[in-house]
Structure 1
Amino acid sequence: MKNTEIYQKIDTIILHMPDYIKDFVQDREDKDQSPRTTLEYLKNYKLFYEWLLSESIVPDTSITSIRHLTAYDLNLYKSHLKRRAKENVKKDTTKAKLEDNNNLGLSTSTINRNITALKVLFKYLSKSSNNPLGKPYLDDNPMDQVATITDKTTLAARANAIEKKLFLDEDTQNYLDYIANEYKNTLSKRALIYYHRDVERDLAINALILGSGLRLSEVVNINLDDLSLDKNNVVVTRKGNKRDAVNIAAFAMEYLANYLAIRKERYKVTENEKALFLAIYQGEAKRISGIAIERMVAKYSKGFRVQVSPHKLRHTLATRLYQQTNSLVLTAQQLGHSSTNTTTLYTHIDNAATIDALNSL
């Protein structure tokens, strides 16, 4: 999604938000903070306000009402999040599965994203004077007494679960070969038409993620001029709205070159369309969406071995790179991580040395 589209969505949402939210958004813009993150925060606040009103915690969402919120109220919202049905889970409606599905809770990361969004807002309301009042809206910050949830799953357990969905070693190339040569054998004549239209693009996207570890949003927002076949790299916008030149593995370059060779003619694209990866929407070539990429990766990976997300392809690159370099720093840099803390996960996936040591005891 382009920044102009993100700002349009932000403007639409804040039309129905209280004035202090508009001031909060303006403060983030003044500090050149990520509009994409701002948009996600606003979605979280909308859910928060809906809960406040539905539970009659406050009569409205004015700053006067927000001043009456206590840490107890906010921890009630945290409890509400923990009880909610998991988002984006397609429920199995068979009788045997209904009870299990109804017991599903929001993931820890989703709950923590909501809590973090509120912490950012309340910090602004209690600390910042960048508003028409010229002083903070709140005298204190009740969100200071609301803690995020600690993930009780160990890194080793997380790594074990993830490893089953990684295409490591020769499986990286086997997966790409499956898309190119075997997947079409499963299709109807009608589906084959779309496969042949998009196969170069689909291979390029899969190879790019497997060869660079880019995030889904980074792939979607690449423009034609961002990719350099000569330098084997691509310039992307990282988290925090930071521009970064990301190296691409050599094996992926052929797929990218093949796609570029057919892009203009195949998608009947005009010179004004700057997006690298395109899709046909209502007969017109436009920037491909994140949802379209997720669905595309899901269908190919399910046919190959196990259904995965683009993020698991990113995990695949990270694991392979760590196995080759044994360097958390290099792996973190490639992924665009600000520290090596997150990258530590990949040391647990590559546990062959630990197993060998145990077997030698």
Structure 2
Amino acid sequence: MRNQNKQESFKKLQALLNELPWYVEEYINHKLRKLSTASLFNYCHDYKIFFNWMIAEQLWNGSMKDIPLERLEQMTVLEVESFLNYLHYQLDNKELTVNRKLSALKSLFNYLQNIAETPDLKPYIHRNVMAKIEFNEIKESMETRANKMEGKILLGDEYEKFRLFVAHDYGEINKENKKVYNFYQLNKERDTAIISLILGSGLRLSELVGLDLDDIDFSKYCARVIRKGNKEQFVFFSRTAMADLQDYLSVRTIKYKVDKNNKSLFVSAPMGPKGTTRRLTARAVEKLVEKYAAAFGKPALSVHKLRHSFATRYHQEINDVPKLRRQLGHSSIQTTMIYTHIKNDDLKMAVDKMDMPIEQDE
């Protein structure tokens, strides 16, 4: 199933590349082993915005696919600054988004100047205007970002309260609504396992939905995931997450009528005329988190905020940034450092005590 998803993502990327100049495809192929297809798709989307802007501003009279290298080499600083202003003021992109799109362009132009070679070993372009363009200065400090995040994540006893809400309380408050209640009864073990796994590991959404049954190591409490850059890594998760996952797996085949060849860990209810059970999509997970978060009284809570909740708790209890960086799969330790700025004085249990005392009853 994972291979099928990768193939579908690759097809979408190829379809977008067919609209872009030949040198963009060459650059993407150069990056294909290093970055995920999702990241490269975003790059191509950014390039499409840039090239469409060039045509709209009459900087090129012709189709996007035919924009030559010579035109890129002749780009002026004023033209690029005009494009960045267009992103900021007309498309209403925030400074971070403008920086991301500028970074994509810088990477492409750097490839054309310093890596790609003509048959006679000359660079594709000699002049790189993007090297002269500086990123927007982001004035927001880590403390400010942390303070904004703090009100949107689970802190203290909210962590376990939210898990229990998904596992039990949501059904109790919706008993009178038969349609909602029956749908909840069908999916409660699966949904609890999803929430518990994110809260007990900090997995990304893409990593979670990409899991197969064979990726779970039940003896070591870890999961094999493919992280950004197509890197394989084993990520540990809590005993509570394991217990909730086993509860879900005990009903997965019966409740979802799963074919033995379907190795997807999280699946949706049978759909369509043939009653096909499919891998749960990222959007479906987002929607179920939104549903429970709104009912819980924290509508700002999202899948990514659950990941932040795990990271905050981990840091407060373990206080080991390098280990947290590895657990979250961050490429830069600076990204992980934000969790050192979130204040949460009422946390008292260590990460391996976050679990309910399930062993004590045995």
1:330 matches 2:318: no
Map of 1:96 onto structure 2: none
CA contact (8 A) 1:178 1:304 kept: yes
Write out per-residue CA displacement over residues 236-271 of structure 1, whole angstroms, 9 at most, x where no aligned residue. Answer: 111111111001012211111111112222222223
Report if aligned partners of 1:128, 1:135 keep a CA contact under 8 Å in 2: no
Letter in 2 for 1:223: D
Partner Cα separation in structure 1 for residue 212 and residue 118 of structure 2:
36
In the alignment, which residue of structure 2 is the partner of 1:92?
Answer: none
Match of 2:169 among 182, 207, 214: 182
Where in structure 1 are there 5+ consecutive unaligned residues?
A: 86-104, 354-361
Paired position in structure 2 for 1:68? 74
- Amino acid of the structure 1 residue aligned with 2:220: K
**Structure 2: segments with no counterpart, 5+ residues:** 347-362
What does residue 317 of structure 1 align with?
310
Match of 1:208 among 197, 203, 215: 197
**Which of the numbers 277, 282, 294 marks the counterpart of 2:286?**
294
Question: How far apart in 2 are the matches of 1:287 and 1:122?
Answer: 38
Q: Is the counterpart of residue 271 in structure 1 residue 260 in structure 2?
A: yes
Contact 1:220/1:290 (<8 A) preserved? yes
TM-score (norm 1): 0.86
Distance 1:207 1:172, change over 3 A: same
Equivalent position to 1:347, from 334, 340, 348: 340
Amino acid at match of 1:284: T
In 1: Cα distance, 2:307 partner to 2:167 partner = 20
Letter of the aligned partner of 1:174 in structure 2?
Answer: K
Give 2:356's aligned residue.
none
Q: Is contact 2:286–2:302 with CA below 8 Å preserved after alignment? A: yes
The residue matched to 1:284 in structure 2 has which SS?
coil
Deviation at residue 76 of structure 1 after TM alignment: 1.3
Identity between Structure 1 and Structure 2 (%): 34
Which residue matches 2:148? 161
Calculate the aligned-residue CA RMSD, in Å: 2.0
What displacement does 1:352 show? 4.5
Kindly tell me: are residues 261 and 141 of structure 1, through their superposed partners in 2, closer, same or farther at Cα, counting changes over 3 Å?
Answer: same
The 8 Å contact of residues 73 and 129 in structure 2, kept in 1 or not, is answered as no
Q: 2:211 aligns with which of 203, 209, 222?
A: 222
- SS of equivalent residue, structure 2 residue 278: strand
Residue 77 in structure 1 maps to residue 83 in structure 2: yes
Instruction: Pick closer, same or farther for the CA change 1:191–1:115 going to 2, 3 Å.
Output: same
Q: 1:352 to 1:265 in 2, by over 3 A?
A: closer
The DSSP-based 3-state class of the residue aligned with 1:40 is: helix
CA distance in 2, matches of 1:285, 1:200: 17
Tell whether the 8 Å contact from 1:59 to 1:65 is kept in structure 2 after alignment.
no
Q: Do the aligned partners of 1:45 and 1:118 also contact (CA within 8 Å) in 2?
A: yes
Query: Are the structure 2 counterparts of residues 150 and 278 from structure 1 closer, same or farther at C-alpha, using a change threshold of 3 Å?
Result: farther
SS at 2:234 equivalent = strand
Paired residue for 1:198?
187
Q: Which TM-score applies when normalising by structure 2?
A: 0.86
Question: In 1, Cα distance between the equivalents of 2:120 and 2:302?
Answer: 46
Aligned residues between the structures: 333
